[in-house]
Structures are given as C-alpha cells and as structure tokens.
Amino acid sequence: MKICTASDELEQKYLLRIPHSKEFADYVWPGMIVNPEKIISRQEMQFGADDVVIASYPNSGTTWASEVLSAIAHEGDTEVIKSIRMDERVPWIELDDKAWWIKLFYIWQNSFFSKPVPAAKKGICFTHLPLE
C-alpha cells in the first residue's frame, strides 16, 4: 500500500516522522507504539455491557474525554482520580507495553504512584484503531 503518490524525498520525510513505522492490514502504524501482534491479539478482546471504549483520531480530544469519563466512572472523586495513573484508569488498547521505553516510563511513573488502584464502576479504554 502506498500512502500517496509522492516523490521519494517527500515519502522519506513523512516516514521519518513515524519512527519504525510498519505497514500492516493496509495501514501505516507507528512502530514505537504499536506492533502487529498486539493488533491481532485485540481482535479477540471482549467487552462487558457497561464498558466504555473511546475510539478517536489522534489529537482529537481523547485525553480530555478520558478524564471526563474517568471522573464519571469514579463518581467524581478527584482524590481517587489523582492517585491513579491515567494509563491505569483508561488504558490504550493497542499500546505495545512490551517496548523498552514504555517499560521505562512505567518504572518512572510507579516511583510517584504506588497506591492500590480502586476499581471503577465501568471499564474504560481508548483506541486510535480504525473502526473496520
């Protein structure tokens, strides 16, 4: 699959903005965040009747929506919300959590947040995966 008909120079410039990008299932995926195995494993993911999935384009208000829905799920308890990392309250479905830099980020985050995570009334997660 070609992204667009463009010169090699333009294509090279674009692909350099997505480090380690991979073409999979007719899409170009950011390789440092997503891997094909993770996408395949998500095809079997099951959701409950009360679960909420935020499906959005990148940089379109996903974090804002995650915060609002997280506040609703925790019944507006801001102390609880502040004590739980965002990635634990609203996990990113396709995030490759085995990547070294993500593991390093979790280690750094855990040095600031070490409290047990209270369960929310509803499960919330988000994705930038295409609908189809």
Its domain, for residue 16, covers 1-32
Report the percentage of the chain scoring pLDDT > 70.
55
Residue 41 counted as domain residue: no
So what's the pLDDT on residue 11? 61
**56 and 111 part of one domain:** yes
Query: Position of tokens 């996408």?
Result: 39
HEC states along 28-85?
A: EECCCCCCHHHHHHHCCCCCCCCCEEEECCCCCCHHHHHHHHHHHHCCCCHHHHHHCC
In a domain, 73, yes or no: yes
Of residues 50 and 27, the one with the higher pLDDT is 50
**Domains in the chain, number:** 2
132 in a structural domain? no
User: What's residue 118's pLDDT?
Assistant: 57
CB 70 within 8 A of CB 90: yes
Same domain for 27 and 65, yes or no, is no
Both 98 and 73 in a single domain? yes
> Per residue in 87-101, pLDDT tens?
888 888 887 766 666
Classify residue 37: in a domain, yes or no.
Answer: no
Q: How far apart are CA 128 and CA 94, in angstroms?
A: 8
